[in-house]
Amino acid sequence: MTTLPVDGDLFRTLLRHQASTVTVVTAPGTPPAGFTATSFTSVSLAPPLVSFCLGRTSSSWPAVAVADHVAVHLLSHRQQGLARTFATSGIDRFAAPTRWRTGPHGVPVLDGTLAFLVCQVVNRVGAGDHVVVLAEPLLARHADGDYPLLYHRGGYTCLTPAPAAPDLLALDGAGQQLLFGAARTANTFTDDPVADEQIQAIHHLIRNAPTAFNSQPLRVVLVRSAQARQRLLPHLGRRNRAKTAAAPLVLILAADTAFHEHLPRVYPHRPELRDVFDADLAARQAQARFNAALQIGYLIVGIRAAGLAAGPMAGFDPAGIDAEYFPDGRLRSLLVVNVGQPGPDAWAERLPRLHYDDVVHTA
């Protein structure tokens, strides 16, 4: 290893090896100011103090230089677009699609971030071509279960969960995170539409997942129009109505109790099973519900694989939905799912999961 004197270029190159948390700092003003920062750090616990750095030539410096309060937002790995917006010069960073509101002390608060702190500025210390801003957190809010956005080697990245053991999982860390580690049940959604082509791609991905007798009894109704949605809302629990009315797409998932009619085509080596199930309604209904439930699990994973969020809801009146949408009695509703891009405050706090020893036992 060769030791070299440190100049500006070498210093920047060395810092590329450091992975930094990506934040957006906002300050009140007319217009408000905000910028992407990777210099945020904690300074003290008693009293609580944090710091961030800002260049004196930054367009945000005049507002930060006189601000009594600022907000520091920790971005999630899903918010690269927001980070790029607040790192871009010459634009209105607070214009749509940025979602924000005026928070305490007039500070702009961005929606949907992993966490944010509203802070009182306590000192500004000049340091070369930058200023170190020291601030005391007054208010804080955070969401659990997501991963922070990082900046490393000149680009945005995120943490990759370590596998349970080396080489025991074929799915790479990014896939594990997308489908399971960072995936959550969404309660709010943006206005971004979900295209039919996306749903078709999801179906193409999951259609080969197994079901007993290759029965494939899941049926999906896409509820898009306002008129169709108004038919649905009265049958939902009150807490589910507002978010369903605002979601870009709603799925009604049902079990086809006449799935056996397709068995000669999809299970051709046992064509007699069609008549067996035709003569046994109870067995047919049980198989329809069980296998449709399996397919619902595949579907939710498929939705996540498409980069979308799912909001499954069991709080509805099945008899009401069946009478409204499936009056012939053949289909039986099992679940209603909102689908789209997650919106502000989309995630509830992640609840505890059972440990391996609580779930797995050896006979």
In a domain, 346, yes or no: no
- 203 plus 71 within the same structural domain: no
Q: Are 160 and 174 in contact (CB under 8 A)?
A: yes
Looking at residue 117, which CATH number applies to its domain?
2.30.110.10
- 109 plus 207 within the same structural domain: no
List Cα–Cα distances, 261 to 41, 76, 270, in angstroms: 63, 47, 13
Examine the pLDDT at 248 and tell me if it is beyond 60: yes
SS3 (DSSP) at 55: strand
How many folded domains does the chain comprise? 2
The predicted model scores a pTM of 0.60
C-alpha to C-alpha distance for 208 and 265, rounded to whole angstroms:
15
**Phi, psi of 283, deg, nearest 5:** -65, -40
SS3 (DSSP) at 75: coil
Q: Residues 163-187: what's their mean pLDDT? A: 78
268-313 pLDDT per residue, tens: 999 899 999 999 999 999 999 999 999 999 999 999 999 999 999 9
Question: What is the span of the domain harbouring residue 308?
Answer: 185-340
Rg, the chain, Cα only: 26
In a domain, 117, yes or no: yes
Interacting residues of 130 by C-beta distance below 8 A, sequence separation 6+: 53, 54, 55, 56
pLDDT at 329: 95
In a domain, 50, yes or no: yes
In a domain, 351, yes or no: no
In a domain, 123, yes or no: yes
- 125 plus 242 within the same structural domain: no
Examine the pLDDT at 171 and tell me if it is beyond 90: no
- 85 plus 141 within the same structural domain: yes
List Cα–Cα distances, 244 to 72, 127, 232, 312, in angstroms: 31, 51, 9, 10
In a domain, 354, yes or no: no
Examine the pLDDT at 163 and tell me if it is beyond 70: no
pLDDT at 205: 96
Mean pLDDT of the chain: 91
pLDDT at 145: 62
pLDDT at 181: 80
Which band of pLDDT confidence, cut at 50, 70 and 90, is reported for residue 178?
A: confident
The owner of tokens 């955070």 is 142
- 189 plus 331 within the same structural domain: yes
- 214 plus 291 within the same structural domain: yes
- 233 plus 293 within the same structural domain: yes
At 132, list the tokens.
């170190």
In a domain, 277, yes or no: yes
- 115 plus 232 within the same structural domain: no
C-alpha to C-alpha distance for 179 and 170, rounded to whole angstroms:
14
C-alpha to C-alpha distance for 137 and 30, rounded to whole angstroms:
23
C-alpha to C-alpha distance for 323 and 232, rounded to whole angstroms:
11
208 sits in the region (left: phi over 0; alpha: psi -120 to 50; else beta) called alpha
In a domain, 362, yes or no: no
- 88 plus 194 within the same structural domain: no
pLDDT at 162: 53
pLDDT at 121: 97
C-alpha to C-alpha distance for 131 and 59, rounded to whole angstroms:
13
Looking at residue 266, which CATH number applies to its domain?
3.40.109.10
- 72 plus 120 within the same structural domain: yes
- 144 plus 54 within the same structural domain: yes
- 143 plus 195 within the same structural domain: no
At 165, list the tokens.
């053991």
187-216 pLDDT per residue, tens: 999 989 999 999 999 999 999 999 999 999
pLDDT at 164: 53
Examine the pLDDT at 327 and tell me if it is beyond 90: yes
List Cα–Cα distances, 355 to 160, 182, 192, 359, 361, in angstroms: 21, 18, 37, 7, 12
